[in-house]
Structure 1
Amino acid sequence: ELFATVLEVADPLLPRRSYAIRYGEKVERMLAERKGAIKDNNYGSARWQLLKQLETESDVLQSEIISTRYNIAEDIAARIAAKRSTGETFSDRIDHWALHPLWGGPLMLLVFGLMFYLTFAVSRPASEWLAQFFDIAGEMFEPWLISVSVPPLFADLVVGGVMKGVGAAVGFLPQMAMFFLFYTLIQDSGYMVRVVFLADRIMSALGMNGKTFLPLVLGCSCNVNGILASRILSSPYDRTVAILVSSYAPCPARLGVMVFLVSAFFVSSSATLVMLALLGISLALMVLVAYIVSWFIPREGESSFMMELPPYQKPTLGSLTSSAVWMTLNFVHRIRNVIIASSVVMWCLSNFPAGPFENTYIVHIGKAMEPIGNLMGLNWQLIVALLFGIAAKESVLSSLGIIYHAAQGSGNLADILIHNFSPLTAFTFLLVYMIYTPCVTTLVTMYQETRDWRIVVYGALGSVISAIVLGSLSFYLGRLFF
């Protein structure tokens, strides 16, 4: 009551000053042209309503209006508040290097290179232990099933199909857990926002803005998420670019398989370079796709991008581990049904019709597609695994595990692959796997968001053609120089 009384007494004595806000020559001219189109009403003044209309019509106008309001707010704050200078903050000192025009890019590569190096170095022992566990469990479980009168064919389905497929997929969970841990560290510390800021320079060179990079970042959690995130873009050009480019973003399923195979074929130091090279090629393809799209889809006006850089934070161990565990469990929950289903289908194709393995359906399918694989130095087993990867990228390892189990019997998948393929073949396969067509769910989402089959066909065929061309170049150049 005392406070209310003070305000009541003091209010008539306070000086009044109204701010006649002017929003710049362009905005004021457009307001003058539309003067009289809207009258004052219960929704607000006519000028305010016209400003709201202009904000929705152009990103540039919206940016100019918002900037003017911020300037007015800062002017008012400067008049009524005393600000004590604190000097350069800790975040400012880091950003001096992290956002530097020359050193910002190399520093970003160093951060992500260190992330992958630690992922490989720390997770390799756990991955090898899991692979050995499933091999030993399978060798013990199948005789037990037969001893309790389970039909041998069904016992082989459980061990050689489900357990072998699941074991191959589970083998890369340690890598995924470590990747999620370090990814969360980079994100929670505030550095990921700086990565988006640095990417704005690349996007600007292509006539886009950094906002287009946000769907790409979300696409690394799942390509579907990246496509859905394109809704934040108002320009049809930016939306189409984001949708097509998001399908090239390395999702966790792709990263899991890539990290597993890279760690199997290369030591930690060279594995980091290989992984960065693959991701660099992926980024270059995104830029190329965006450039090609600009030939066919006209731009509509200018676009702008504003973002706030929060101060750096010190992530807690609890938040890091809980987030990494949640992301890993969520990944397992999402892939479990797909892995089991694809493992059963792959086992059936690898065991029927009864007789020698060379007469099974899977061999006939693989041999029919082998000419395409020969262009890239890939055998039919790898091509079949890629074919099953269209349903779900994570099923590639389980498919390879079942194929080689049916052909060669028991054995650790990583050891089998190392025995059958050279590092050049492994790199070429990883390159093709990273690029070729998105999974079915991603393609369906592309159509749902665009309602245009041409974009879906371009996204699928464009990635397949890119994969074949780059895979062939990798194979033949690799043979020439190595």
Structure 2
Amino acid sequence: MEIRIALVGNPNSGKTTLFNALTGSSQYVGNWPGVTVEKKAGKLKENKGIEIVDLPGIYSLSPYTLEEVISRNYLMEEKPDVVINIVDSTNIERNLYLTTQLTEIGIPVVIALNMIDIVRKKGDIIDVKALSKCMGCEVVEISALKGEGCREVTEKAIELAKKKVKTTPVYAFSNSVERAIKEIEGLVEGKVDNPRWYAIKLFERDKNVIEKTNLSPDLKANIENIIVSCEKDLDDDSESIIANERYNYIGNIIKLCVRKKNKTNVTTSDRIDNIVTNRFLALPIFALIMFLVYYVSISTIGTLMTDWVNEVLFGEIIPGAVGSLLESMGTAEWLNSLILDGVIAGVGAVLGFLPQMIVLFFFLGLLEDSGYMARVAFIMDRIFRKFGLSGKSIIPMLIGTGCSVPGIMASRTIENEHDRKMSIMTTSFIPCSAKLPVIALIVGAIFPAYPWLAPGAYFVGITAVLISGVILKKTKAFSGDVSPFVMELPPYKAPNLKSLLIHMWDRSKSFIKKAGTIIFLASGFIWFVSSFNWSLQMVDASESILASIGSKIAIVFGPLGWGDWKAAVAALSGLVAKENIVSTLGILYGFEEVTENGAEIWVLLSQSFTQVSAISFLIFNLLCAPCFAAVGAIRREMGNLKWTLIAVGYQTGFAYVVSLIIYQLGTLFTGGGFHIGTAVAIAMLVLILYLMFRPQHGKNAKSKGVWKGAVGTQGG
């Protein structure tokens, strides 16, 4: 008999670390039925008959966000055999709020009291037996990071699952609330399988539960009268009443079960945050950290490995071996060209940048695992709100550094419709992993002496988001107050090397998979249309189908400084997948005659761009419409074609205007002279400044408090 164990816990509670420790390499990734949010599941390393399901990190079972909806639906409908509730013991009061709800759903629950090593280090004591008695379920101390207690908590969960002993809450609410809950419970008895849980949710006026129970109008009216009576007695709304009851009970538990050595409650994390989240130092520190991450990844360590992969592996070893094999087999010339000049040149051009991406993924994982990325969200909230953006928008953008698709989908957590749409439209401005090869290519081929340009590309994306926030917020479609952002800052912790490597491999695997599928097919197509003319005769690339189409398209990009047909078709190929830009350039410049000195194709590429036009090309491809998959995500999240076209049109138009301004004014300042293009660029710059500084739509922008800062609760 297979046993299913669900891992449930707050974000940053160590849930994923425990999941990785339990499943190792036997995990698999899929989507929840009906939605496109990723789920992780895996088999227990010691017993393949035990399935571990890693539910999204949540703070509550009230369905305000997509993650909470998914988690609650899984627990209530799929009914796993047992729940392991991962509780951050350094922030136990906040974490037990979810625990009180889990004990009500009628599934066996084991509390995994995580990060217990940090609690001991601080000299604090948690009375596990007393906590177990207060919560009505088993409690096991663990440190998922160090592997302590992981086996014990799993064994306890399996034991409960086999016994099928349901966990029931041992606490009661205050008299008036408990009386109301009991009355509702009596009304739904026999109509639902867990009367107390449903009674609490009906008391909270949970819309999903009300719809699911399908109660008669008379019964609903009776329940509403009970709720209204209790609200009058306590002078509060029903949802707040339940929340207060839970926290009151948790407060009593903390007094009974937790003894803190440091009465002032000032932790090491607090001391670090006094510096890294300081109002004046936070942004410079963040900029310095991101500069170092990109500099090391793209301009130093990553470059050394990438140079070897490009010049030796895909420049000599693989083409030489495959070429010799094809020659010995006597294959046709066109087939040789397809394999060597198409597939290997295209896919190899993309995979050549994999070492740089691996290093970058490692450092980003390091920042995320240590707890610093949560601080980035806190820091950027202060800035975003001043530019008319919700602080919640930073979460999709941080996720979007890996891939724009989940970043765009993460916008669902933003309740305000205007803020959510604005987040969807601007998330893809932040460079995702697919754009990193483009950044590395341009910086490596044309700006080897300016390594700061690579991290600069990241801040170009942030700047584009901020400018867009100001412009869009002053339009009728996006006007309104910015929604507040309340978040919790987890304590800092030493990253786990195994988790880092798994994180790095997951992202790298996705990149390799795309290179072996989408980029592979696209490379074959680009080779065909760049090798044959309309009469299907094999010709030089300059006389090919692609050249004839590209030469007409290139006119559009002429004002941006890269009117060459090769650059134009490379930019268009990026609409399928941004990595295609690199593979397309690799194929097209690979056809050129090598110079007497043996110049590489990237040297030939550098000869086709000036420094100003190269920056223009890079910025256009960073900011323009994302890949087809991301456009599909925009379509799903916007809900209609009209808003999808508006989003894609805005992104592409904004990218074109910014690239035009950069090229035309850059050319002017580098001695290119004044002409009609310069005049248009100046007019566009004036228009952007006007849109940024004009009064807000429908009201005086100064009358509203858009300068309120984020609320941050520091864990521990």
Q: Normalized against structure 2, the TM-score is what?
A: 0.57
Structure 1 235/96 Cα, relative in aligned 2: closer, same or farther at 3 Å? same
Q: 1:441 aligns with which of 629, 636, 656?
A: 629
Q: 1:107 aligns with which of 279, 282, 285?
A: 285
The question of 1:373 aligning with 2:557 is answered yes
What RMSD over aligned residues (CA atoms) do the two structures have, in Å?
3.2
Aligned residues: 448
The question of 1:265 aligning with 2:453 is answered no
The question of 1:256 aligning with 2:437 is answered yes
The offset of 1:345, in angstroms, is: 0.8
Structure 1 103/64 Cα, relative in aligned 2: closer, same or farther at 3 Å? farther
Structure 1 298/470 Cα, relative in aligned 2: closer, same or farther at 3 Å? closer
* Paired residues of 2:174 and 2:245 also in contact (CA < 8 A): no
2:512 is aligned to 332
Distance 1:466 1:129 in 2: 37
Q: 2:463 aligns with which of 284, 303, 308?
A: 284
Q: CA offsets per residue over residues 54-94 of structure 1, 9 Å max, x none?
A: 999xxxx8997688568645753676565432553221111
* Paired residues of 2:350 and 2:582 also in contact (CA < 8 A): yes
The code of the aligned residue for 2:252 comes to I
The question of 1:398 aligning with 2:583 is answered yes
Name the structure where strand makes up a greater proportion of residues. Answer: 2
2:521 is aligned to 341
Distance 1:479 1:208 in 2: 33
Distance 1:69 1:393 in 2: 51
The offset of 1:184, in angstroms, is: 0.5
* Paired residues of 1:352 and 1:361 also in contact (CA < 8 A): yes
Structure 1 481/70 Cα, relative in aligned 2: closer, same or farther at 3 Å? farther
Structure 1 228/66 Cα, relative in aligned 2: closer, same or farther at 3 Å? farther
* Paired residues of 2:402 and 2:507 also in contact (CA < 8 A): no
Q: CA offsets per residue over residues 17-39 of structure 1, 9 Å max, x none?
A: 94779xxxxxxxxxxxxxxxx99
Q: 1:415-454 counterparts in 2 under 5 A? A: 415-454=603-642
The code of the aligned residue for 2:487 comes to M
Using CA pairs under 8 Å that are at least 6 residues apart, name the structure with larger relative contact order, 1 or 2: 1
Q: 2:572 aligns with which of 387, 392, 405?
A: 387
Distance 2:518 2:253 in 1: 57
The question of 1:76 aligning with 2:255 is answered no
The offset of 1:112, in angstroms, is: 0.6
Structure 1 405/329 Cα, relative in aligned 2: closer, same or farther at 3 Å? same
Q: Secondary structure at the match of 1:420?
A: coil
The code of the aligned residue for 2:401 comes to C
Q: Secondary structure at the match of 2:486?
A: coil
Distance 2:656 2:267 in 1: 50
Distance 1:41 1:212 in 2: 43
Distance 2:239 2:606 in 1: 55
The code of the aligned residue for 1:222 comes to C
The offset of 1:266, in angstroms, is: 2.6
Q: Which runs of 5+ in 2 are unaligned?
A: 1-128, 134-171, 178-183, 189-194, 210-236, 671-716
Q: 1:114-153 counterparts in 2 under 5 A? A: 114-119=292-297, 120-133=299-312, 134-136=314-316, 137-139=318-320, 141-153=322-334
Q: CA offsets per residue over residues 274-295 of structure 1, 9 Å max, x none?
A: 2333222211222233344432
Distance 1:286 1:337 in 2: 31
Q: Normalized against structure 1, the TM-score is what?
A: 0.83
The code of the aligned residue for 2:573 comes to F
The offset of 1:419, in angstroms, is: 3.2
Name the structure where helix makes up a greater proportion of residues. Answer: 1
Distance 1:122 1:397 in 2: 21
Q: CA offsets per residue over residues 203-255 of structure 1, 9 Å max, x none?
A: 33355543222111112221111122122223222321221122222110012
The question of 1:469 aligning with 2:653 is answered no
The offset of 1:448, in angstroms, is: 2.1
The code of the aligned residue for 1:436 comes to C
Distance 2:509 2:251 in 1: 50
Distance 1:387 1:165 in 2: 15
Identity of aligned residues (%): 27
* Paired residues of 1:373 and 1:380 also in contact (CA < 8 A): no
The code of the aligned residue for 1:190 comes to G
Distance 2:569 2:478 in 1: 39
1:307 is aligned to 487
1:456 is aligned to 644
Greater mean alpha carbon deviation, residues 332-341 or residues 62-71: 62-71
* Paired residues of 1:169 and 1:397 also in contact (CA < 8 A): yes
Q: Secondary structure at the match of 1:315?
A: coil
The offset of 1:299, in angstroms, is: 6.4
1:414 is aligned to 602
Q: CA offsets per residue over residues 431-472 of structure 1, 9 Å max, x none?
A: 111011111111122212222112111122112211211111
Distance 2:284 2:271 in 1: 17
2:401 is aligned to 220
Q: Secondary structure at the match of 1:304?
A: coil
* Paired residues of 2:425 and 2:651 also in contact (CA < 8 A): no
Distance 2:404 2:282 in 1: 27
2:159 is aligned to none
* Paired residues of 2:529 and 2:544 also in contact (CA < 8 A): yes
The offset of 1:109, in angstroms, is: 0.5
2:501 is aligned to 321
Q: Secondary structure at the match of 1:296?
A: coil
* Paired residues of 2:526 and 2:584 also in contact (CA < 8 A): yes
* Paired residues of 1:389 and 1:439 also in contact (CA < 8 A): yes
Q: Secondary structure at the match of 1:307?
A: strand
